[in-house]
Chains A and B, each alone.
Chain A
Amino acid sequence: MIRSFQFQLRVLWRRRVLLVTALTTLVFSVGAAALVLANATDGPAGLRGRGATVAGLSEAGGGTEVFLRGASFTGTFLFVLFVGAFAVDFGRGTVRTMLLRQPNRIRLLLGKLAGLLAYAAAWLAVAEVLTWLAARVLAPGQDVSTTSWTSLSAIGSGLVDYVTVLAWIAGYAILAMAIGVLTRSVPIALGIGLAWSGPIEHLTQNAWPDAVRYFPGLLLESFVAGGTAEITAARALLTVSGYVAAAAAIAAVTFARRDVTA
């Protein structure tokens, strides 16, 4: 699995991918900081699931709360990105090339997942720092105080926010892995990923608010938002963990057993 992990990182670690990722991270960080701060309303702190407030953002964890809230808007984008990353090896035939070097299919799949998550984790850290810096610059314009953003407590909040976003991304990555492995086709996988995480879940939620308790994408959104009126973050995490475990098992069994014929 370590060789598969190293291999995945080598494939990602090239100039073009790094440049695109860096640029995307920069745009996201500045954009997220601007949007979250601009939309902060007057109101009490401590209601993370409801929307950013000036009071809440002025607390110790306010700087990284901007990052957390900004990340929560990118769920569909990240999901589709992971779906493509898994499906492309089937469409391009590179899964065959990999299996000739690593015949243990579970190790190969886990190594790829770990490699993608490690890459995401590194850039997530960069994004958190950049978002914090951008927010620090923009906050005074929105009457958000940043005096407690550099306290020890702020660092603790920053770590919690980082782990929350990382867990949220891991959930999307594993669900995406299952879709990629099952469909083995980039266009089909992307179509399913986009349709499911976008219109299907959200339209259903509009007609049936309780969908947020059952649909994996909505559960992940609720988790990263720190809970909603319908479901707590802990409950959302527990429920979506079941989906993620099932998706991982289905992906692993399918990948281990299915013929690789193209």
Chain B
Amino acid sequence: MKFSASDFPLMRGSLVAICTSALLSGVILYSSTRYAVQNETNLNNAQRQINESRNRLTEAHSDQENLSVYSAEYGILEEQNIIGDDHRLDWMEGLEKLRSQNLALDFRYNIAPQKAYIPQPAIDSGNFNMHYSEMKLQFDLLHEGQLLKFLDALRKQVKGHYQIEGCSLTRNEAEADASTPAMHIKAECNGGWITLKSRNAPQ
């Protein structure tokens, strides 16, 4: 059977019905799908929000614990001028103070410019830059006990943290010389002053 233009009026109502139905169905499906997608996005956002909140709470608990555990020790580091910039005058004054205590026959020091410190094995420095001001110490000693006492006094009396890398002690060959009858040992120690500076602090 072939269709003709005269058939159209008969089919018009049904064609309008199917087209309207298709259009309405499209609108309904599109709207419902869009609503569903929106809800899913909202759910994902809410899940992200709650994850962030949980992380924030965990962080708060962690900070609370850190504060109780580390605040006292951190206070000591601050007091020792380990946190922040170098305090070279403090070190020099401290060393001169040790000199006046006659802990060794004589000692000399040499502080080099500050540089970045990379410990071996490596340490996670977190949000800190580790700085290192190398200082070489040379001693004239009566005996090795003086070196131990000096280093102990350096640790306790001078503000800062002097990290000893190593020492070498050598028996004085000129021991028999009458002009320097007391000096038995020459010593030289390598190390440096460590300071920690927060990356958030002004450089």
Chain A complexes with chain B:
no
